[in-house]
Amino acid sequence: MARSDPGDAPIQSGDAPIQGGGAPTPGREASSQGGNTPTQGGNAPTQGGNAPTQDRGVFSEGGEVYLDYQSARPVDPRVAEAMQPYFTERFGNPASLHAVGDRATEALEQSRAGVAAFLGATPGEIVFTSGATESNNLALIGYARKNKRSGNHVIITEVDHISVLNIGKYLEQEGFRVTRIPPDQYGRINPEKLRARITDDTILVSVGWASNEIGTVQPIPAIAEMLGGTGVALHVDAVAAEGQLPLDMGTVPVDLLTISSNDIYGPQGLGALYIRRGTRLAAVTMGGGQERGLRSGTENLAGIVGMAAAARIATEELPTEAPRLAALRDRLIQEVLCAIPDSHLNGHPVERLPNNAHFRFEGIEGESLLLSLRDEGIAVSTGSACSSKTLEPSHTLISCGLLHEEAHGSLEFTFGRFSPEADIDRVMEVLPGIVRRLRRLSPLYRKQ
């Protein structure tokens, strides 16, 4: 069978929208000393919770309170049910030319259409990958290599996911010039400051739709509008935002968009890259030429079917699930800032993801808080799971202007589809006491 040139696979367009953000309110951050407590929930919609209420909270091992949905989500039981036949009964390879392969191809393309609908795109614009990191590599490296005759300048931001930051370093080794845009104190990128960094050699801008750490939502529609007519392509890593904010490629002219299956309660180890029709990439993985020559390797059919099921459920539940998560988030923020002196909210007080509450506690280490909460059966994080093995403070918080000791005193709570209201009750039973105990032991905390 004839295959398209791996480097020349264009892909098609879509119809869809992206969410913007409002102007940040003045002030460094919301804090327990009279800061801005957020209420707006990340503007998200979802229908919701077709997952039965009685099932909420039962998806963590050992009955822990699980508030680390930014690092991993359980597979929704409805997704697992959709995947099951493809492990044992409908196991064909889409590349095979017999009837079993034909049925696999049909399932693959139906799933591609389902993921495309989730993004307001067309099926020909979706390429499946092994996850968001691979999608980011294909988007940035593939676009830079394919279009290097047009220029050698790429722009990313200081608050991008660690995978994008490391890809930026790799592109510099390949001879590209990479500019990193700093955020404001809330972690937001100013479109006009970004515009000022564009030169005649700029070919690509990459901005994350939202921060998976501090939850700040970027003004993607304004950035896309600003880039219109410049000939500069826009890549958006939407992993933190998918399933929480509406993503519609027909409304906002994004050229490349990264998504992950697990972040919408699908299986781990699977992702996709949206490639607007006419956008050309060079392949970065060589092999049998699957996925229009852009991503070789036999497709993970069961996982792809699961991702499509997860995308459909996320679309249906967005109008009710996002407000539910925002209510949990706002309650936790209000109670923490009121109950614990010298606590502060990191990230934007209003333009933030509906499930994210990220705090800084003066005078104590976030890791000590995390371990103390673990002893109480509560799972949280101090930042991105993808960079948790390092002792360095969060690059996002440092970029927002925090000192190293301030960044080290941060803690992240992220809610999800199976989070019950009772999780907040449990956190507030133990967190104030843990903070008091650690501060008594800390030489860093100012004594009253």
Mean of the per-residue pLDDT values of the chain? 86
- 277 and 10 in contact (C-beta within 8 Å)? yes
Task: Please name the CATH architecture into which domain 77-313 falls.
Answer: 3-Layer(aba) Sandwich (3.40)
Q: Say what the pTM is.
A: 0.85
Domain boundaries, the chain: 53-74+317-441, 77-313
- DSSP 8-class letter at 261: S
Residue 236 to residue 139: CA distance in whole angstroms: 9
- What are the tens digits of pLDDT across the range 63-97? 789 999 999 999 999 999 999 999 999 999 898 89
Per-residue pLDDT for 205 more than 60? Answer: yes
Secondary structure tally for the chain: helices H, strands E = 12, 12
Per-residue pLDDT for 413 more than 80? Answer: yes
- 283 and 298 in contact (C-beta within 8 Å)? no
Residue 194 to residue 158: CA distance in whole angstroms: 12
- Phi-psi region for residue 192, left (φ > 0), alpha (ψ -120 to 50) or beta? alpha
- What are the tens digits of pLDDT across the range 215-267? 999 999 999 999 998 999 999 999 999 999 999 999 999 999 999 999 999 99
Mean pLDDT value of segment 411-417: 97
Structure confidence at residue 313 (pLDDT): 98
Mean pLDDT value of segment 2-26: 36
Mean pLDDT value of segment 406-429: 95
Per-residue pLDDT for 48 more than 80? Answer: no
| 37-51, 340-354, 387-401, range with the lowest pLDDT | 37-51
Look-up of token digits 């995978």: 163
Structure confidence at residue 213 (pLDDT): 94
Partnered with residue 157 across adjacent β-strands are 181
- Cβ neighbors of 52 (< 8 A, separation 6 or more) are none
Residue 448 to residue 437: CA distance in whole angstroms: 15
Residue 365 to residue 289: CA distance in whole angstroms: 49
User: Confidence band (pLDDT; 50, 70, 90) for 189?
Assistant: very high
Structure confidence at residue 390 (pLDDT): 56
- 269 and 297 in contact (C-beta within 8 Å)? no
Measured CA to CA in angstroms, residue 436 lies from 167, 339, 433 at distances of 41, 11, 5
| 201-210, 278-287, 377-386, range with the lowest pLDDT | 377-386
Mean pLDDT value of segment 25-50: 39
Structure confidence at residue 54 (pLDDT): 39
Per-residue pLDDT for 407 more than 90? Answer: no
Lookup: tokens for 267: 């299986």
- What are the tens digits of pLDDT across the range 114-130? 999 999 999 999 999 99
Structure confidence at residue 4 (pLDDT): 35
Positions marked active-site: 386
Give all strands (DSSP E) within 276-399, no chain letters.
343-345, 356-361, 378-379
| 25-29, 288-292, 359-363, 431-435, range with the lowest pLDDT | 25-29
Partnered with residue 154 across adjacent β-strands are 178, 204
> Could you say which of 3.30.70.580, 3.40.50.2300, 3.40.50.450, 3.90.1150.10 is the CATH number of the domain covering 53-74+317-441?
3.90.1150.10
